[in-house]
């Protein structure tokens, strides 16, 4: 694809659609929302307010990392603490689609609705990509960021219009455009991380304690596999327990799954054949986490599995 032309067209189109109005966008630190932030600021400058919503589900060090990375690109990112709202909305839920729905509602209706009202923004710039749309419309799973394609009139429901400059791109195209748009390689080549964040990696109820367990495991996996060249890698906390031994005593502990996959666009994926020593090292570190006594490696391609667990 012609990335240069794509960037120019999108900047012109964002300018034309928004005119003199105010716009807002949520940055998660992933490549999709980072690229939207970049294009949006090039098109709108000060008319665009970029927020980073702390939903209590972010990875270790993520908030600081994102704010710092964009500060070095001269883009101000405003932190919004919405941790309690997300935790309250998720409390007691175990069904994956109900959890996704709770995150969508909290994000677009409660937190964003409030920000939009306060700021007087008329438009939300959104990092939806083609794969998100296809899988939601096909009924595979409800991606948190799909609204208009499900027939939701965002203006009537949430009070703002949604603009989706990346909706014709797949992940590999997004990375290429991101590079050309001036995002540093550490962002343009960043492994995908979903909007609902660590919630997609917790099977069963989401509590502060369970988030912390998966957060530590995620940091270990990301550290160990940073040099793997894989498309995506993650840690997942299961809802089951297994018997093990801790301090010479029986322990009914938690189970972490490690997943590492190869893909170009996330529509299909195969499992990375990681070296045995690497898997062993990850397992040793993961089972060192408080309360965790088993570590499994997921051997399932997509399909039949999806990449995330909820």
Q: In a 10 Å sphere around its CB, with 0-12 CB exposed, 13-18 middle and 19+ buried, how is residue 117 labelled? A: exposed
Q: How far apart, in whole angstroms, are the C-alpha atoms of residue 171 and residue 5?
A: 18
> Least Å distance between CB 45 and ligand XMP?
26
Number of helices (H), then strands (E), in the chain: 12, 9
- If one asks whether residue 144 binds ligand XMP (CB under 6 A), the answer comes out as yes
- The helix/strand/coil state of 174 is helix
Nearer to ligand XMP, 242 or 296 (CB): 296
Q: Which helix (H) or strand (E) holds 249?
A: strand 249-262
Beta carbons of 36 and 174 less than 8 angstroms apart: no
CB of 12 to ligand XMP, least distance (A): 26
Is 22 a binding residue for ligand XMP by CB under 6 A? The answer is no
To the nearest whole angstrom, how small is the minimum distance from the Cβ of residue 158 to ligand XMP? 17
Among residue numbers 206 through 265, which ones bind ligand XMP (CB under 6 A)? 232
- Contacts with ligand XMP in 281-310 (CB under 6 A)? 302, 306-308
Among 50, 69, 145, 293, binds ligand XMP (CB under 6 A): 145
- Any long-range contacts for 45-49 (C-beta under 8 Å, 24+ apart)? 47/18, 47/20, 47/21, 47/22, 47/23, 48/22, 48/23, 48/24, 48/125, 49/22, 49/23, 49/24, 49/25, 49/78, 49/119, 49/121
- Give a three-class secondary structure readout of 96-121: HHHHHHHHHHHHHHHHHHHHHHHHCC
**Contact call for residue 143 and ligand XMP (CB under 6 A):** yes
Q: Which residue in the set 29, 40, 165, 196 belongs to the binding site for ligand XMP (CB under 6 A)? A: 196
Residues 82-141 that bind ligand XMP (CB under 6 A): 132, 135, 141
Candidates 194, 255, 259, 292: give the one binding ligand XMP (CB under 6 A).
194
For ligand XMP, the closer of residues 166 and 293 by Cβ is 166
Does residue 192 belong to the site contacting ligand XMP (CB under 6 A)? Answer: yes
Residue 149 engages ligand XMP in binding (rule: CB under 6 A): no
CB of 132 to ligand XMP, least distance (A): 6
Residues in the chain: 310
Which residues in this chain contact ligand XMP in the complex, by CB under 6 A?
132, 135, 141, 143-145, 192, 194-196, 200, 232, 266, 302, 306-308
């Amino acid at each position: 694809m012609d990335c240069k032309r794509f960037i120019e067209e999108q900047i012109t189109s964002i300018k034309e659609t928004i005119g003199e109005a105010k716009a807002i966008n949520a940055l998660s630190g992933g490549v999709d929302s980072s690229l939207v932030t970049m294009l949006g600021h090039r098109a709108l400058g000060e008319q665009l307010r970029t927020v980073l919503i702390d939903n209590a589900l972010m990875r270790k060090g993520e908030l600081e990392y994102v704010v710092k990375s964009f500060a070095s690109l001269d883009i101000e990112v405003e932190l919004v603490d919405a941790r309690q709202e997300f935790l309250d909305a998720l409390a007691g839920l175990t069904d994956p689609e109900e959890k996704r729905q709770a995150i969508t509602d909290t994000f677009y209706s409660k937190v964003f609705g409030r920000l939009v009202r306060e700021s007087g923004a008329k438009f939300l710039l959104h990092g939806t990509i083609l794969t998100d749309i296809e899988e939601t419309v096909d009924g595979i799973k409800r991606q948190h960021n799909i609204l208009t394609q499900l027939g939701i009139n965002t203006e009537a429901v949430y009070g703002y219009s949604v603009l989706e400059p990346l909706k014709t791109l797949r992940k590999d195209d997004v990375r290429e455009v991101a590079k050309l748009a001036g995002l540093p390689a550490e962002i343009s080549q960043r492994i995908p991380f979903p909007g609902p964040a660590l919630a997609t990696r917790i099977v069963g109820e989401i509590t502060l304690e369970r988030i912390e367990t998966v957060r530590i495991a995620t940091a270990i996996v990301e550290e160990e596999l940073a040099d793997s060249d894989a498309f995506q890698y993650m840690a997942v906390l299961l809802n089951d327990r297994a018997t093990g031994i801790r301090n010479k005593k029986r322990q009914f502990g938690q189970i972490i799954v490690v997943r590492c996959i190869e893909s170009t666009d996330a529509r299909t994926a195969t499992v990375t054949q990681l070296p045995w020593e690497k898997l062993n090292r990850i397992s040793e570190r993961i089972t060192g986490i408080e309360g965790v006594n088993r570590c499994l490696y997921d051997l399932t391609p997509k399909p039949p599995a999806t990449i995330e667990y909820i």
